[in-house]
Chain A
Amino acid sequence: MKKSNPRKMHHRFVVLSLLAGIAFIFTACSPAPPSDASSTQLVSKDNNKKKITICLIPKKKGLPYFTSCAKGAEEAAMELGNVELIYDGPTDGSPEKQASMIEQYTLKGVDVIAVSPNDPNVVAPALRKARARGIHVLSWDADAIQDSRDYFVNQATAEAIAHGMVNTMVKDLGGPETRADVAIVTAYLTAANQNVWIEHMKTHIDQQYPNLNLVAIKPSDEDQKLAFKVTQDLMKAYPDIKGFFGISSVSFPGAAEAVKQAGKTGQVMVTGLATPNSMRSYVEGGTVKSVVLWNTAELGYLTIKVGEALATGKLKQGDTSFDAGKLGKKKIAGDQVLLGDILVFTKENIHQYDF
């Protein structure tokens, strides 16, 4: 009995101090809002236009690719003047974190959320909730599930990417008259994006470049070592082969390394899809003449422009084109705004890009 008494006192003390704390919190809460309200009034007096808050959420914060997109987004926000840009994303690239962030921004009541989903399924419930609250939702860089967003700001159509790769290959080989055997090193044989590109590449070659002869399509299973080996094998199987397409960011450097180590720099062309930083040494060494991608800064710029237009009602459903400031008129296909053009990095311009 004697022992249990002081224990109970402890408990009572803890409970009391907790209650006191809670009481303190509630009293501390009430006087604060007015000061906050007056500060927001000051802001709105400064510029008559209503501020539009746009959150730009990348797949992963800190990746050079996304940082370069954010630069373009900042430029657009500065130019527009009425946009407050928040650029934040998970530092670990976790889809769950992304969903949590979307939920937070929804509660905060921002105007536009633009997200490049790590996993469309995971973020879909959060995005639908945001839309139900009247927030405009965009996907950019990678698409979300269709009913969970208003528009997808698409960096390049499959057709533009495929044609871009074939055209640069033909140029690197010396023009449409050159007869050449070429091969594709892809990601997985089941990879959806890659398969669409391959179809477009085939039809483009058939229609435009009869001298180009596609001899093989091999998977690299998103493994750089396997891409290296597959390219080596292809060079043995087709000694006259003149060009390789590495159509994923993993198969491209793998194929380039194989050509470089075989001592065929300059005789066998390699082109494909990757970021300039990952291919820089091959471009400067001469193994790769051109790297195909899109302009990431323009992608960020366009996303913010579309977000602002959506929030102010300038962009309406059914519009078929969009005036994107310094980028000129951009096409809208259904619920996709197309950035459209690809960007080719060569020895001459690659030093301007760092991502």
Chain B
Amino acid sequence: MKAIFLRTLSLPETFLSCLIITLFALISQLDPSFLQWEVQRSLSSHIWELAIIAIPMTLIILTAGIDLSVGSIMSLSAITAGMLFQAGSSMPLACGAALLTGTLGGFLNGFFIARMRVHPLIITLATMATYRGIAEGISQAKPVSGFPAGFTRLGQDEWLNLPFAAWVFFIIFVSVFWVIHRRALGLHVYAIGNNDTASRFSGIHVDRILIGLYTFSGFASALAALLFVARRNTAKADVGMGIELGVITAVVIGGVSIFGGRGTLVGTCLGLLLIHETREFVSWHWNRDEFILIVLGLLLIVSVVFQKLLRHKQNSS
């Protein structure tokens, strides 16, 4: 019993929960108006797109990979939808094309990584530049606006008291959670992250899984892009600029090891919650945009160092 207690205590999720509780306790002392449901619900609209991308990113990092191109895939998908709409296509068609573009972009990443054996860091760094460049090229960096109300409602309306994007996130989260914890695929993802070669020899379809994961990441990015465009009523080549940093930060703060094989989806969710609340509260309370970066940086350092210490202790005991 004591052993279980100690082990639970050293889980990154426990540590994160404590951190989140501390944060909320601090907020309730400093500025309780921030905790009103109305405020929380409205501000939550700033995180859902990032959260949707964080799900495939967690799986990819679990396989010891990384996808830096998510922001650029968002941009390319947004521009695809925008340009098609401007050219007179119907909105559902434009959205379908955008999802297809994103999925294809992710598939190309996976193809190069699995079949050509290019390191994910390098290939997604390359496609990050390429996809963004294409988006800027075909749009001439001009914004597309004036989408039909039926589409923008997806980004602005609420459904059962939560933004529509929140439900998209929950659906994806629950399905992926089920696959990871109840299907063999989940074990395979962890196995690839722990030892790629051993997994191949044990008959796991490593290539197929990797291609699948990066394709999923592309699809999720395209979905996030459409939600973003609907929310802001503007498609532009700078959509999703820098979002990969936010996504990877959330996943790493959530206790997912960048070397693969270790971490959980629940951890990622806690990481997202911590980052979101910190970011919004800092700008809510201090009205200083520059503080956010400092606080987030510190948060990342603290949580990573702490988790490392805990893991070290756990291994030595």
Contact = CB atoms under 8 A, between A and B. Distances in A.
B116 interface: no
Contacts of B24: 21, 24-25, 28
Given A21-B20, A100-B46, A29 B232 contact: no
Residue among A61, A97, A103, A104 with most chain B CB within 10 A:
A104
B81 to A, nearest CB: 15
10 contacts: A6-B4, A10-B7, A14-B13, A32-B28, A88-B283, A88-B287, A88-B288, A99-B232, A104-B283, A124-B233
B43 A104 contact: yes
Interface string B9-29: 001011001101100110011
Interface residues of A, number: 40
A14 B4 CA distance: 12
A119 B288 CA distance: 21
Interface residues of B, number: 46
A122 B232 CA distance: 5
Interface string B213-234: 0000000000000000001111
A317 interface: no
B241 interface: yes
B288 A104 contact: no
Pairs A-B, 6 closest by C-beta atoms:
A21-B21, A121-B145, A28-B28, A13-B8, A25-B24, A32-B32
Contacts of A36: 31-33
Contacts of B20: 21
Interface stretch (B34-42, B89-97, B119-127, B300-308): B34-42
B4 A29 contact: no
A119 B143 CA distance: 9
SS of A interface (majority): helix
A9 B4 contact: yes
Contact of B42 (A9, A91, A103): A103
B297 to A, nearest CB: 14
A119 B46 CA distance: 18
Contacts of A286: none
B287 A25 contact: no
Given A21-B17, A25-B24, A104-B280, A86 B234 contact: no
Contacts of B25: 24-25, 28
A90 interface: yes
Interface string A45-68: 000000000010000011000000
Nearest to B292: A91
B177 to A, nearest CB: 13
A12 to B, nearest CB: 9
Contact of B289 (A9, A90, A119): A90
B139 interface: no
SS of B interface (majority): helix
Given A25-B21, A25-B28, A91-B289, 6 more contacts: A10-B7, A14-B17, A21-B20, A97-B289, A103-B43, A107-B42
Contact of B32 (A24, A29, A92): A29
Contacts of A219: none
Contacts of B145: 121
Interface of B: 4-5, 7-8, 11, 13-14, 17-18, 20-21, 24-25, 28-29, 31-33, 35, 38-39, 42-43, 45-46, 143, 145, 152, 156, 231-234, 236, 238, 241-242, 266, 280, 283-284, 287-290, 293
A107 B13 contact: no
Contacts, number: 106
A100 B276 CA distance: 13
Given A101-B283, A107-B38, A121 B32 contact: no
Contacts of A97: 289
Nearest to B39: A107
B234 A122 contact: yes
Contacts of B232: 96, 99, 121-122, 125
A3 interface: no
Nearest to B284: A104
Contacts of A108: 33, 284
Contacts of A13: 4-5, 8, 14
B237 to A, nearest CB: 12
A33 B17 contact: no
Contact of B11 (A14, A89, A91): A14
B224 to A, nearest CB: 13
A340 B290 CA distance: 33
A92 B290 CA distance: 9
A125 B17 contact: no
Contacts of B17: 14, 17-18, 21
Interface in A295-315: none
Contact of B14 (A17, A86, A99, A103): A17
A106 B233 CA distance: 19
A33 B32 contact: yes
Nearest to A21: B21
A121 B234 contact: yes
Contacts of B35: 25, 29
